[in-house]
Amino acid sequence: MTISATTTITYPTDAVARLRALGPGASPDRIDDVRRALHPSFAGPALIEYAGLRPARHDPDSAVATLRALAREPVAPAPAEVLAATPETGDELIDSLVTAVAMDVFGDAVAAHGSAAAAAAIGAASAGASPRRRILLLDLAERHALRCLPVPEVIAGIDGDRGYRHAALRYLSQCDADPEAAEAIASVHETTDDPYDRVLASICLARPGGVPDGSPLWTVPPPDRPGLTVAQSMLLGSFDHPGAGASGGLTVLLRHLGHALPRRAGIARVVTLTLLARDRLAERPPLAEPDGAGHVVLRLPVDAPGAPAQIDLSRHRPAITFLARRLLWLSGCTPDVVHVRYSDDGSAAIAQAARALGARTVFTLTADPHRSLAERHAAAGPADPVAARFDLHRMYTADRLVATADTLLGLPGRPGGELSGYFPRLRGREPESVAEGIPLLPRVPTADARQQRLAGSLFGPPAGLPRLGDAARGLPIVLSVGRLHPVKQQDLLVEAWLTRGLHRQTALVLVGGDPAAPTAEETHVLDRILALCEKHPEATGRLAVLPALGNDDVRLLEHGLARWLPVPTPHLYVCPSRKEEFGIAVLEAMDAGLLVLGPRRGGLGHYIEHGRNGMLADTATPSRFADALTAFVRAAADDPVRARAAAAAGRATVARRFGIDLVAGRFADVYQRSVAEPPRVVPGPASPDRPAGR
């Protein structure tokens, strides 16, 4: 992103930004400043990692912080040093975070000291290793193609621990010259009743052109045009059901890009990588499936009963890396460029697989989660050690992605100083700004009957969840669409709507979540919404809560409100989130001609000009949000002409700047430049006899 000479850059000055600016040898005053500002559960391990402090005690979080500090050293440690510094804590979550960091640091060690030293270190560490450590050693050896663990010894434990069996299969898959390895994998494939074990064994045995049992699990036709193959990842929630679980606006964006990018010159195919949970593998669904011309959805099996939460991705990182690399190769979809968008272990796994395949990597960087951490882990707040260790790990993971990505992107509306303040290594390497977008829908849809049915579905007797009654007819609707999650704050919207008496002049419609199989977050938010409704029986019939709808249905509903439920003022759309990095759902509402209100915090200010084409609200506290919501509803009611003009201006903004074809062209340009430029020399740890950055 180019910054003019007159641009004023203001770097964040919160405690997390000050922490990130520390280094070994930082002054005691600066260290004490951070220590006083942040809770000990966060500041303690953070200062070990960033300031090089010695641990005050030998606890698991300090041990993990020491390993992350090793990853930040200017000289790469020897492979044996990495293994010696990798703790085993007995805590499943902490040990999975340890594994993720160890995979990174050991990779630095292999690059700096060579494969022979790495193989020797793994071989030495395997003697007397615990079951957990043996899994790590198998994954390290497989990741670096080190055939240093004897096949008979690996096979000996394959019928025992589940995690060990999967790591052993991954390791044995590379031992092509050893018939005993192939026989062991084939034996698992032929004898197991476990659907995950079966599909993993299939993948480990397979070579391009088929699978052991002849089932085309990953066979897709080649692209029908020359050009780049672009891979993009969406590993949270269900790719097929946006708005349920952890799936949200990014799911919608990636499907639209998957359809739009292949229409651009120079792009042959898009592959969207998602996860497929263990409970769906018994159906033997295809792992690779065409989704329109030039778009393939490639599902990576994951050994979890449902879609893993973000905090759990570290447990699956070695498997995701292996399966992404293997399935992209088997399906003939080896990418030229891979784009990841989250600061988490899922993105780290996909980026690692991309590098192993020789692809360029693109990373969309945001200040999330950094900008909220100083508040979340303030010294005066309650202790939350689980959140502290996960947030510190995400910060570390984001740094690794920044350091290794060939191309960095940032969402529009982020002053360069915000990112540079949280990522000191960025200064001098500012991300390019590329907006997201949506397909533009015509004013008059062709699916009239479907649109009318969706509008009518808001009314009727409750079927477990509230619906609108006759009292809501003729009232402006306040619509909010999104996954049910505390950060989206739908409960805050309901509370403000009820306590400020807005139910007397509007109806409220919430769309999102999966009530049939809710996550813990969905259950929490939905229970609070229903409890609020019980306290306000006078609002019965003016609130509707609908489960997540497909994106096509959401768009038809939004466009159909004015047509099938006409009112004197525009219908309204409210995004009550604490923050929105971009807001795909907000753009869709604007395109439908709804007057929108969204959070100031985040990126909506890039395209919403307060009072002209929408409104922005402080959503940080219930009272401030309630004030903003009340003003929003009353302004639309008091001056419907002006409200309609603002809604029309919002629609024009989307049409002018955020149509998916325009946005796809920008991304295509980025991908083509990334592939055309020389590979980036990644700065970081070096061997003892080689300067860093060479």
Is residue 301 within 8 Å of 281, Cβ to Cβ? yes
For residue 25, the tally of other CB atoms under 10 A from its CB is: 7
More confident: 689 or 413: 413
**Percentage of the chain modeled with pLDDT above 70:** 92
506 in a structural domain:
yes
Confidence of residue 152 (pLDDT cuts 50, 70, 90): very high
Reported as a single tens digit per residue, the pLDDT across 502-519 is 999 999 999 998 888 888
Total domain count, the chain: 2
Tracing tokens 């085993």 back to the chain, one arrives at 88
| Rounded Cα–Cα distance for residues 86 and 621 (Å) | 42
Residue 245, pLDDT score? 47
For the CA atoms of 285, 290, 296, 302, the dihedral, rounded to the nearest 10 degrees, stands at -10
Residue 550, pLDDT score? 87
**Percentage of the chain modeled with pLDDT above 90:** 67
Confidence of residue 6 (pLDDT cuts 50, 70, 90): very low
243 in a structural domain:
no
Burial class (CB in 10 A: 0-12, 13-18, 19+), 666: middle
Confidence of residue 248 (pLDDT cuts 50, 70, 90): low
Average pLDDT, stretch 130-143? 95
Reported as a single tens digit per residue, the pLDDT across 520-561 is 888 999 999 999 999 999 999 999 999 988 888 999 999 999
Look at residues 580, 481, 524, 485 and name the one whose alpha carbon lies nearest to residue 236.
Answer: 485
The domain that holds 75 is classified in CATH as 1.25.10
Confidence of residue 417 (pLDDT cuts 50, 70, 90): low
For the CA atoms of 186, 190, 192, 193, the dihedral, rounded to the nearest 10 degrees, stands at 150
Average pLDDT, stretch 231-242? 81
Q: Is the pLDDT of residue 7 over 50?
A: no
Look at residues 449, 451, 474 and name the one whose alpha carbon lies nearest to residue 566.
Answer: 474
Q: Is the pLDDT of residue 306 over 90?
A: no
Is residue 620 within 8 Å of 602, Cβ to Cβ? no
| Rounded Cα–Cα distance for residues 398 and 383 (Å) | 24
Q: What tokens were used for 518? A: 């809710």
Residue 133 makes CB contacts below 8 A (sequence gap 6+) with: 88, 125
Q: How far apart are the first and last CA of the chain?
A: 26
Q: Is the pLDDT of residue 428 over 90?
A: no
Half-sphere exposure of 573 (CA within 13 A, CB side): 32
Q: What does 550-594 look like in DSSP terms, one character per residue?
A: -HHHHHHHHHHHHHHS--SS--EEE---S-BSS-HHHHHHHHTT-
536 in a structural domain:
yes
370 in a structural domain:
no
Confidence of residue 9 (pLDDT cuts 50, 70, 90): very low
Residue 541, pLDDT score? 93
More confident: 505 or 216: 505
Q: How far is CA 169 from CA 54, 154, 305, 662, in A?
A: 39, 9, 20, 45
Average pLDDT, stretch 433-459? 80
| Range of weakest confidence among 32-36, 251-255, 428-432, 607-611 | 428-432
More confident: 664 or 411: 664
Burial class (CB in 10 A: 0-12, 13-18, 19+), 226: exposed
Q: What domain range includes position 157? A: 15-205
Average pLDDT, stretch 428-449? 76
Confidence of residue 690 (pLDDT cuts 50, 70, 90): very low
The residue out of 642, 657, 672 marking a domain boundary is 657
348 in a structural domain:
no
The residue out of 164, 182, 205 marking a domain boundary is 205
Residue 407, pLDDT score? 94
| Range of weakest confidence among 2-6, 249-253, 394-398, 455-459 | 2-6
Look at residues 296, 317, 321 and name the one whose alpha carbon lies nearest to residue 308.
Answer: 317
Reported as a single tens digit per residue, the pLDDT across 598-629 is 999 888 888 999 999 999 999 989 999 999 99
Reported as a single tens digit per residue, the pLDDT across 333-353 is 999 999 999 999 999 999 999
Q: Is the pLDDT of residue 215 over 70?
A: no
The residue out of 205, 221, 255 marking a domain boundary is 205
Q: What is the mean pLDDT of the chain?
A: 88
Half-sphere exposure of 98 (CA within 13 A, CB side): 25
The domain that holds 508 is classified in CATH as 3.40.50.2000
Average pLDDT, stretch 307-313? 90
Confidence of residue 120 (pLDDT cuts 50, 70, 90): very high
More confident: 176 or 93: 93
* DSSP helix/strand/coil, 363: strand
Q: How far is CA 570 from CA 558, 565, 629, 632, in A?
A: 12, 11, 15, 12
Q: How far is CA 401 from CA 168, 408, 421, 672, in A?
A: 28, 9, 17, 20
Is residue 127 within 8 Å of 77, Cβ to Cβ? no
- Run of H or E residues at 33: helix 28-37
Average pLDDT, stretch 242-254? 68
